[in-house]
Chains A and B, each alone.
Chain A
Amino acid sequence: MIEVVNVNKLFGDNHVLKDISTSFEPGKVSMIIGRSGSGKTVLLKCIIGLLIPDSGEIYFDKREFTKSNIKFKTQIRQELGMVFQGGALFTSSTVEENVRFPLDLFTNWSKSEKQKRVDFCLERVGIKNANKLYPTEISGGMQKRVAIARAIVLNPKYLCCDEPNSGLDPQTAILIDRLISEITKEYNITTIVNTHDMNSVMEIADSINFIFQGNNWWQGTKDDIFNTDNKELNDFVFASELCKKIKKETT
């Protein structure tokens, strides 16, 4: 479980995160939704420690993270997988080397053990015959899959994804979403996914946090969304004509 307690983050005068408190449970896909620029990425980066909150605490299974020392942070980070918005694969390494990188760093496994694990993870995300290719030689959807494979190679307890399906076509996007959801359930991972894509939310969200102007504005499940009278959330969720129509039909 990841707990966020009274987190504030400012960039100069720009108060991006305003006293955010929430928690994320294991075995569930928790989604953080909100408009572009609402502070989703900043929140995620605070959680994983790439940004330091100006105040507040983050707990990974009761272990305080933000104020802990480097050694302890490194330990938690080995339990944490992250899928960045653009994939963030190392462009000078092959697909296989990218996935193997965390193993090289943190395990004393033999070459064949590592290879077995790499092959297993790549197969799990549905990548075949691309081991020796470079990230620039594969499609965007495949890059995301490889990024997921790299994030789960050390068997993480926590998985964070920043807009994992941005820039993908709807069909590929759904496959990536389902993959994240399946992995979460399979290994009982505490998964946090940032998105502004309502399709993903309807597809895989187990719990939802709606960030509005830096506030944790609304929290609930998929079904709650249809029954809420929260104006800002309704404006966000049912922005398109299609969604408005769906809402009218379901309620």
Chain B
Amino acid sequence: MVIIANIGKYFFLMIQVFSRPVNKKIFFKRFLQEIEQIGLNSIWIVAIVSIFMGAVLTLQVAINFENPLIPRYLIGLSARDTMILEFSSTIICLILAGKVGSNIASEIGTMKITEQIDALEIMGVNPANYLILPKILAALFTFPFLNLMSIILGIVGGLLIAVFTDVVSVFNYIYGLRYLFVPFYVTYSLIKICFFAVIITSISSFYGYYTEGGALEVGKSSTKAVVYSIIMILLFNLILTQLLLT
């Protein structure tokens, strides 16, 4: 029952979010602020995680593919495909759900309990539209770039392993990278991350927006935002994979 009520409230909020902004100039300013906060501020964490995971993936695959019948270039291929198919979209978004999601929920939640959202409404602004729409659009705009960056850096991480260890040769690794490359996998990855961008920003905004009480409740909203974003990412990952890859 609570779940159905929440879904109803969620879509009710989204109707308010996707209305026309009162003032285009202010909206654009907000959009740029959010690009910085949601996109640019996430570059470091995405970069570090991607390089390390690319490197570790390559190492593990190399160690496990010791059978001489398996060609060594499959190491490069599997690093590439794991990054594109799952890591750079789904896993990165699980991490961003933690970083961006909790940030959004606590920011909007604090604004709610300190009556800043009421103040916006009183000034004749639609607070949902003013606060949330720029966040959703900024994530939609920046997450695909983070995705591509993560794929590239993951592959670079693997390359570093090929260069600095002798588990796989650079030649084999690069040969594997180019072997049986399916461009649609990148499209698939980009489509997924766009869905996840909307999921993280809208769900986190939702939990922030309906915070009632004090600082403790802001913390709870923040936790809920992360947990439900993650669940929905996993669910949509399954649905989109079924729809796009089979």
Chain A positions near chain B (C-beta within 8 angstroms): 45, 48-50, 73-75, 77-78, 80, 82, 84-86, 88-91, 101-102, 104-106
Contacts and interface: CB of A to CB of B under 8 A. Distances in A.
Nearest to A154: B123
A86 B125 contact: no
Interface string B182-204: 00000000000000000000000
Contact of B115 (A73, A78, A84, A102): A84
B81 interface: no
B70 interface: no
Nearest to B114: A86
B9 to A, nearest CB: 17
What secondary structure prevails in chain B residues at the interface with A? helix
B125 A105 contact: yes
B118 A50 contact: yes
Given A104-B23, A104-B26, A74 B115 contact: no
Contacts of A101: 123
B123 A88 contact: no
Contacts of A75: 124
A82 B125 contact: no
B116 interface: yes
Interface in B112-147: 114-116, 118-119, 121-125
Contact of A78 (B110, B111, B119, B124): B124
Contact of B23 (A73, A88, A105): A105
Nearest to A48: B122
A74 B121 CA distance: 9
A105 B114 contact: no
Contacts of B232: none
B231 interface: no
A106 B114 contact: no
12 contacts: A50-B121, A50-B122, A77-B122, A84-B118, A84-B119, A86-B114, A90-B111, A91-B116, A104-B26, A105-B23, A105-B124, A106-B124
Contacts of B123: 77-78, 101-102, 105
Given A104-B26, A105-B23, A105-B26, A88 B124 contact: no
Contacts of B26: 104-105
Given A48-B122, A74-B124, A105-B23, 9 more contacts: A49-B122, A73-B124, A77-B124, A78-B123, A90-B116, A91-B114, A91-B116, A104-B23, A104-B26
Nearest to B125: A105
Contacts of B111: 90-91
A86 B115 CA distance: 8
Interface string B16-27: 000000110110
Contacts of A91: 110-111, 114, 116
A106 B22 CA distance: 9
Contacts of B110: 91
Contacts of A49: 122
Question: Top 8 closest A-B pairs, CB basis?
Answer: A74-B124, A88-B115, A88-B119, A77-B124, A84-B115, A82-B122, A88-B116, A102-B123
Nearest to B23: A105
A132 to B, nearest CB: 18
B12 to A, nearest CB: 15
B118 A88 contact: yes
Nearest to A89: B116
B103 to A, nearest CB: 12
Contact of B114 (A50, A80, A82, A88): A88
A77 B110 CA distance: 24
B111 to A, nearest CB: 8
B20 to A, nearest CB: 12
